[in-house]
Amino acid sequence: MTSPYQNNEKALLQKISELEAELKKVKKQKKYGLVWEDKPEQIVEDCKRNVPILRLKEKKKGIDPVVVTDPTKDESILIEGDNYHALSVLNYTHKGKIDVIYIDPPYNTGASDWKYNNDYVDQNDGYRHSKWISMMYNRLALARKLLKDDGILICAIDDNELQTTSLLFDDLFADKVKNTVVIVNNPHGVSRSGFSRTHEYALFLLNPGQVINKKPAPEDLRNINLRRSGNNSLREDSPTMFYPIYVDKETLKVIGVGEVPPKDLKQKTAIFDRGTFYEVWPIDSKGVEKNWYYSRKRVEERGAEELNCRFVKGQLQISFHHSNNSEQTYKLEFSSEVQLTH
């Protein structure tokens, strides 16, 4: 007959054994950097025992899966299926041969928009972040092997996992140079946690000393109201910028300017009809006296060439051209031809 003491001793030894096993796991963990609880993924385990095979899609309803537009150019392959399967297969055929990899993973917003082991992951899942990191780590580890020595990886991401993705990159791509680009994709913003977010991010992994050719963006001319608004826009903020501009009625071209009026002369009307021309003052729709962006001398000398006059909602508006053409705005062009792989 087993005594209660022996049962307690057996349970205690079992608990000690479990704690020792847990301690060994903890000792193996990193002491610095991104640490997460690895969540086994079924598809990863399956690929350890079985090799995924690519199969050419069958011709259906007269649609040929092979499209040839120019037989003299290199072929492109579209792989349909789980991305872990695709990356595993490519590691047999394209290891160390890819120039550029672009990934757009699920953002892990908690909106049940992605699956892990065939189950949707929602915001109430206590292991949501660990599952996401495990999923990303497994695929990035395979993607790493596909890149050439000078290969580039680009990842689209948002605020939910920006920091963890960045740390993952530090872990897996320590030899690369990491750059973060902010992409404004919704100027009106999407409300989340009390803030309206207007942007997402693109993380670029480049190589030390790698050159990206900088190309100025096409000039973007915009009409800006010559009447100043916002800060320092009132007449008293810049009294010498408060004066009338004369606009020809037929051509709507600036033909001259008037004098700066005395301080005690108040204007409430923006436009006067002077027969053959309009007399335009910098006064807004509420009758508030404003000031012009341009000095009187500049309008007098270059107004006909630089200013554009037109009627907007029944009101004559004088505008100037604003250009974004500067060395601060670029399109990206890689210095060598690249093969894009999704």
Are 261 and 267 in contact by the 8 Å Cβ rule? The answer is yes
> What fold does the segment set 35-65+78-217+333-341 form as a domain?
Rossmann fold (3.40.50)
pLDDT at 90: 92
| Torsion, CA 142, CA 143, CA 147, CA 151, rounded to 10 | -150
Strands of 307-312's sheet, edge to edge? 221-225, 315-323, 307-312
Alpha helices in 239-336 (DSSP H): 296-306
Q: Could you give the CA distance from residue 130 to residue 156 in angstroms, rounded to a whole number?
A: 19
pLDDT tens-digit map of 2-35: 555 566 788 888 888 888 887 777 666 665 667 7
Closest CA to 290 of 199, 222, 229, 340: 229
**Domain boundary assignment for the chain:** 35-65+78-217+333-341, 221-323
Query: What is the per-residue pLDDT across 31-57, written as a single tens digit (0 to 9) for each?
Result: 566 777 778 888 888 888 888 888 888
User: What's the distance, Cα to Cα, between the start and end of the chain in Å?
Assistant: 66
Average pLDDT of every residue of the chain: 83
Extract the tokens encoding 166.
């960045």
- What are the pLDDT digits (tens) for 266-308? 988 999 999 999 999 999 999 999 999 999 999 999 999 999 9
Q: What does the alpha-carbon distance between residue 224 and residue 129 come to, in Å, rounded to a whole number? A: 46
Question: How does DSSP assign 121-153, residue by residue?
Answer: EETT-TTHHHHHHHHHHHHHHHHHHHEEEEEEE
Q: Is 3 exposed, middle or buried (0-12, 13-18, 19+ CB in 10 A)?
A: exposed
Task: Give strand ranges (E) for 158-198.
Answer: 177-184, 190-192, 195-197
pLDDT digits over 118-173, tens only? 676 766 676 778 888 989 999 999 999 999 999 999 999 998 889 999 999 999 99
pTM: 0.56
Contact, 146 vs 91, CB < 8 A? yes
Place of tokens 């109201």: 225
99: nearest Cα among 72, 74, 66: 74
For residue 332, the model assigns a pLDDT of 43
Rounded Cα distance between 96 and 149, Å, is 7
Determine the pLDDT at residue 337: 36
Q: For residue 270, what is the DSSP state?
A: S
| Structure confidence by residue, pLDDT tens digits, 308-325 | 999 988 889 999 876 555
